[in-house]
């Protein structure tokens, strides 16, 4: 261990500080030698230098803020390498055209070359003297940057990162798993005439992504990254993302411009209605005999929930001759299935004007638009409460798919599906025909149906029947129930 010598006339307090410093240094070396702390951790704490030596923080004592050194320790002064004192004023930078100013605007007025107006000086810079004034000097430093110093554009940097990631073993492992999934699920999709389906859902926990294929003739891939927890280093998460993105074009045989990356974070209530910056580009996809518009760039979700594919088919099969009510309707895809299944009329209710307009376009795309199919922009709970006064006509089929949580300025209070589902179903049941059916769904994984609070209703859990094969890895992606009146 290196030794530090104090002046023989050092005070008792100084000797005490030095003794404490020696003890602290000895404890650090002991902890390092016994493996209680790593050299990397000591570097992060600033206690070790890059050369592996204990850092001389604040002089002789790295832990006591009052520690000091004195000139009589025999330590030479730091070299100046020929630096000369400031002797020339620094030229001003004229970033904007000069504008005439009255003498009272700036006092004193700025000069052409340097600000020579007297300024209060730091006493440490003038030998400890106080209340000293003088000009603040500076120097103009000019640098010449050659071509090698230029910063590459972001696209070039990204290509370089992906090329490096493609050579790593992790990229190969992910590609193998994705290739197996794609082969198996593509065969199933052809048999079932499914054109939009999920091919990967965090099968390998270290690659926490959900990947969906969309399209008919022109395919697109929607890649959703589940945001890494705070315990995962940002560099590690980016490395895994790069490995995934480097493997996708070859495995899916898609150009990079048709691979769309999104990050799913824990959303605050109402965030599903927020629009990202985008160009409003929509793509047409097919689900059975129906067509829908999806958007890969502007929103967190694409406009088509693939896990509800079988639920929509069931609604279409129950629709013939019925009046249909679609609450929390999103882009109205369920309304399209029901209208195509023979419903005589429908009412589609959602709080977002954007999604209602999207739903109207979906209905028109399938040639089903008409006066019998109405759209209402409203808070669904408030709309249901208003029904108590307006006595609306009952419906034979109701689809109820509320969000887990929702909060908006247009809502009188926030909504929580676990807390509020009993009240919600009581309100909806008043609009149900005696022999009608409610299809109630939500995606809260820990949802528990309080059937005892609804004795007047018969409830059947059909969740397993509505989970499609491409979502079998996550059987709690949603809950789904059939609700009818008793008797």
pLDDT tens, 423-470? 999 999 999 999 999 999 999 999 999 999 999 999 999 999 999 999
Determine the pLDDT at residue 136: 61
Q: Pick the more confident residue, 389 or 177.
A: 177
- Beta-carbon neighbour count of residue 56 at 10 Å? 13
Arithmetic mean of pLDDT, 305-333: 97
pLDDT tens, 369-397? 999 999 999 999 999 988 666 667 899 99
Determine the pLDDT at residue 270: 45
Determine the pLDDT at residue 275: 53
Arithmetic mean of pLDDT, 51-69: 52
Measured distance CA(211)–CA(202) in Å, rounded: 9
Determine the pLDDT at residue 43: 73
Measure the CA dihedral 106/108/112/113, to 10°.
Answer: -130
436 class by beta-carbon count within 10 Å (0-12 exposed, 13-18 middle, 19+ buried): buried
Residue 104 has pLDDT above 80, yes or no: no
Residue 97 has pLDDT above 70, yes or no: no
Determine the pLDDT at residue 330: 96
Q: How would residue 54 be classed by pLDDT, with cut points 50, 70 and 90?
A: low
Determine the pLDDT at residue 68: 46
Residue 478 has pLDDT above 50, yes or no: yes
Q: How would residue 154 be classed by pLDDT, with cut points 50, 70 and 90?
A: confident
Determine the pLDDT at residue 377: 95
Check whether domain 283-485 has CATH 3.40.50.150, yes or no:
yes
The residue assigned the tokens 């992060």 is 44
What is the Cα 84 distance to its own chain's centre?
52
CATH topology of domain 154-266: Transcription Regulator spoIIAA (3.30.750)
Q: What angle do CA 214, 220, 222 make, to 5 degrees?
A: 80
Determine the pLDDT at residue 108: 56
Measured distance CA(450)–CA(369) in Å, rounded: 38
Residue 59 has pLDDT above 50, yes or no: no
Q: What is the DSSP string of 285-321?
A: EEETTEEEEE-SSSBSS-S--GGGHHHHHHHHHH-TT
Determine the pLDDT at residue 151: 76
If phi > 0 it is left, if psi is from -120 to 50 it is alpha, else beta; for residue 275 that is beta
Determine the pLDDT at residue 36: 72
Q: Pick the more confident residue, 38 or 164.
A: 164
Greatest CA separation for the chain: 104
The least confident of 282-286, 297-301, 368-372 is 297-301
pLDDT tens, 216-242? 778 999 999 988 888 888 889 999 999
Q: How would residue 1 be classed by pLDDT, with cut points 50, 70 and 90?
A: very low
Determine the pLDDT at residue 69: 46
Measured distance CA(87)–CA(85) in Å, rounded: 6
| Nearest C-alpha neighbor of 276 from the set 291, 259, 264 | 264
What does the domain layout of the chain look like in residue ranges?
A: 12-66, 154-266, 283-485
| Nearest C-alpha neighbor of 259 from the set 218, 205, 318 | 218
Determine the pLDDT at residue 293: 96
Provide the whole-model pTM. 0.68
Average pLDDT, the chain: 83
Q: Pick the more confident residue, 272 or 411.
A: 411
Instruction: Provide the percentage of residues in the chain whose pLDDT is more than 90.
Output: 54
Most confident of 116-130, 259-273, 378-392: 378-392
Collapse the DSSP code of 9 into the 3-class scheme (helix H, G, I; strand E, B; otherwise coil) and give the result: coil
Q: Pick the more confident residue, 21 or 246.
A: 246
Determine the pLDDT at residue 88: 60
Q: How would residue 111 be classed by pLDDT, with cut points 50, 70 and 90?
A: low
Residue 318 has pLDDT above 90, yes or no: yes
Q: How would residue 64 be classed by pLDDT, with cut points 50, 70 and 90?
A: very low
Measured distance CA(417)–CA(435) in Å, rounded: 25
């Amino acid at each position: 261990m290196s030794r530090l010598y104090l002046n023989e006339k050092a005070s008792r307090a100084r000797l005490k500080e030095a003794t404490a410093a020696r003890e602290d240094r000895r404890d650090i070396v002991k902890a390092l030698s016994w493996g209680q702390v790593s050299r990397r951790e000591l570097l992060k704490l600033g206690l070790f230098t890059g050369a592996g030596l204990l850092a001389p923080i604040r002089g002789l004592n790295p832990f006591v803020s009052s520690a000091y050194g004195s000139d009589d320790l025999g330590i030479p002064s730091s070299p100046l390498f020929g630096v000369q004192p400031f002797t020339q004023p620094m030229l001003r930078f004229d970033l904007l055209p000069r504008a005439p100013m009255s003498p009272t605007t700036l006092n004193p007025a700025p000069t052409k070359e340097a600000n020579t107006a007297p300024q209060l000086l730091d006493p440490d810079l003038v030998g400890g003297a106080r209340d000293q004034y003088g000009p603040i000097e500076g120097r103009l430093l000019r640098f010449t940057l050659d071509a090698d110093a230029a910063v590459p554009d972001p696209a070039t940097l990204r290509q370089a990162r992906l090329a490096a990631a493609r050579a790593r073993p992790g990229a190969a492992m992910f590609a193998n798993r994705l290739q197996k999934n794609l082969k198996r699920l593509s065969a199933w999709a052809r048999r079932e005439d499914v054109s939009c389906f999920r091919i990967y859902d965090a099968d390998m926990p270290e690659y926490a992504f959900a990947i969906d294929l969309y399209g008919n003739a022109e395919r697109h891939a929607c890649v959703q990254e589940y945001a890494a927890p705070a315990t995962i280093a940002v560099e590690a998460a980016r490395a895994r993302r790069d490995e995934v993105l480097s493997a996708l074009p070859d495995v899916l045989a898609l150009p990079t411009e048709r691979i769309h990356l999104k990050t799913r974070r824990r959303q605050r209530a109402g965030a599903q209605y927020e629009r990202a910056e985008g160009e409003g580009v929509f793509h047409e996809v097919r689900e059975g005999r129906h067509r829908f518009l999806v958007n890969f760039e502007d929103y967190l979700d694409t406009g088509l929930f693939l896990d509800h594919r079988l639920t929509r088919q069931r609604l279409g099969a129950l629709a013939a001759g019925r009046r249909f009510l679609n609450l929390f309707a999103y882009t109205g895809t369920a309304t399209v299935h029901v209208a195509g299944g023979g419903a005589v009329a429908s009412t589609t209710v959602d709080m977002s004007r954007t999604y209602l307009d999207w739903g109207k376009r979906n209905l028109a795309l399938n040639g089903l638009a008409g006066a019998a199919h109405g759209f209402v922009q409203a808070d669904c709970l408030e709309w249901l409460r208003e029904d108590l006064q307006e006595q609306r006509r009952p419906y034979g089929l109701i689809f109820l798919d509320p969000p887990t949580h929702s909060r908006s300025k247009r809502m009188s209070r926030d909504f929580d599906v676990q807390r509020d589902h009993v009240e919600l179903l009581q309100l909806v049941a008043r609009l149900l025909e005696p022999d009608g059916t409610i299809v109630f769904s939500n995606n809260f994984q820990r949802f528990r149906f309080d059937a005892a609070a609804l004795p007047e209703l018969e409830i059947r859990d059909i969740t397993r029947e509505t989970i499609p094969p491409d979502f079998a890895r996550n059987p709690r992606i949603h809950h789904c129930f059939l609700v009818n009146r008793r008797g």
